[in-house]
Structure 1
Amino acid sequence: MSYSPWQRSVLDNALAALTEGRLAHALLLVGPAHMGKTAVADVLAQRLLCSAPTTDNLACGRCRSCTLYAAGTNGDIQRVTLEPNEKGDKLRTEITVDQIRRLGQWFSLTPQLGGAQVAVIAPADAMNVAASNALLKTLEEPSANRFLLIVTSRPGRLPATIRSRCQRLEFRIPARSDARAWLVTQGFKDADIDSALDAARGQPGLAAEWLGQGGLSLRREVITELNAVGTGKLSPIELAQRWLGDEQGELRLRFAADLALDAASRRVGAAPAERGGLTVPADFPKLSAWFDAINRTREQLKAPIRNDLVLAGLLREWRTMFP
């Protein structure tokens, strides 16, 4: 596996703690989305299960545990994540208490290979209240050679009682020069890298995703369409239906919210101006409220309500902020 510098830093710290006997049974891997947290959790899990680690303290890739791990048949690792709904056509939005209870029962079993047991929970912030309470019971009763790797980009959504019982492994956004250098090694064009890093607020993994999957083009479309609504050239209901008409709806709303936040942070008391191609209103309080409302709409996209009507109302508010 090829590691980014920020992944390597976290992994090295964890492996050093393991070597020195300082590694806790519960690890909380935190940091912004798209920083490779789950990938590091998987590498660390394989190392914890390996019976013949290498001289640089990584999994050997050859022992029985590693062979089964690579085949996906190692019974001493469990992954807890979002499961399909009853219809099987979508993922659930929560990790349920039943999943965590099954995990607790699994931890009570004897390891199949006689070594460690490792569970990876990702995204841990998706646990509902009952699931979090059930996990707390597992955390309160640590056992030798039982490890919990808890992965989240939103640690504030986890109860303090869970966070306080974990050893924290933090993924930090690197310096812009380091992020830029890494993106160059991934084969992206210099001309696009700075724009992507700006849009991603310095997060290199997110910038890489948008560079590779057309996110920057979609962001430019959002700017053009918001300008069209602001000048009355495009109706709010038409744009709302367009934005939510495919799987890119959440990303469009993220871009709209980010653009509004950028505008609000630079617009206090100023006249209307261009920000990254977006014409923004001068009303700071309304702009801030609009940012909050767009984010609430993002959160409820999966709820069974007419989100297109909610969004159309917000786009009408955007239009009224212009003279």
Structure 2
Amino acid sequence: MTEKEPIFEKQPLNELVDSLDKYFGVKELDKDPAMSRFIPMVYDPLGYDWKSVFEPDFCERFNGLMLKGAEQTGKAWCIVFPSNEVLTKILKSAQEGDMIFSHHPVNMECGDPRGAMGKGFLPIDLELLQEMRTRKLSFYAVHAPLDSNTEVSTNDALVRLMDGEVIKQFDPYGLGFAGRVCRIPRTTTSVLAEKLRIAVGLPYVDLAGIKERDIELVGVIAGGGGSAEDLKTAEEQGVDAVVTGEVSAKIIGSRGDKERAMLVEYLPTTKVSAIGLSHAGSEFVVMRDQVVPFLKDRHHLDATSVPENNWWR
């Protein structure tokens, strides 16, 4: 007997948003600790009146519904960053009322360990932003709550990718914790790095610290990383390796210069293997493996994840 094709239905936007807000605890967090800084940082210099464009509650919390589209939602497009490449892909196929479900409400370039440096946080392209509004697409972003959630989570998605079992959380952040310690089947740095490279869809991983060692306990910090402070915090948990987005600082400017200097001082002293999967790539796993099934199964909403052509950017 063949399985029946799932039946997807259009969902009232207000009911969908209310359900997502409750599940991720959006209303429980006064404001996102990171995005409350970065949204003004990227839009204010442009003179863009983002407070009159984005939904009022979003302008206070920096999570939840950012752009309100049509009243009925037919499909969700799940992404990590609203980059020009990804938004252009979506806009070729999206229909009125579709929702873009994003981890970040701003774009970011973190750089390529074998290529160009990144520019850091960037605004959504204003022409693409206007097109989303004109076509009545909704944009829903959930940043810190998606990192700290213990079911649908950027970190727990990586733990599952390694067949791991969470034994501890660390690094308080938002409504919970930004890091996980997990126990995985005993392996080595090179084997784990290759397994993750294939699973995420990377041309290569970025390795720092100890290049090869036995690994059983792993500290997981999906996303940014790229800082000595993050790596130190994970190492203090007694882990053998750290799996994160960035293990080298590749952003242009004073922020990148500071992080590079701290890493130069820290990395020769570390006893862990640090495996970088790119900021965007490490957080795409939750979209592909957890958010899409979550929206389909719980909300009966058609959903798809939209990858970047190259995660190292």
Instruction: Please say whether Structure 1 and Structure 2 have the same fold, judged by a TM-score greater than 0.5.
Output: no
Tell me which structure has the larger Cα radius of gyration: 1
Give the TM-score of the pair, scaled to structure 1. Answer: 0.29
Higher relative contact order (CA 8 A, sep 6+): 2
Give the TM-score of the pair, scaled to structure 2. Answer: 0.30
Give the structure with the larger helix fraction: 1
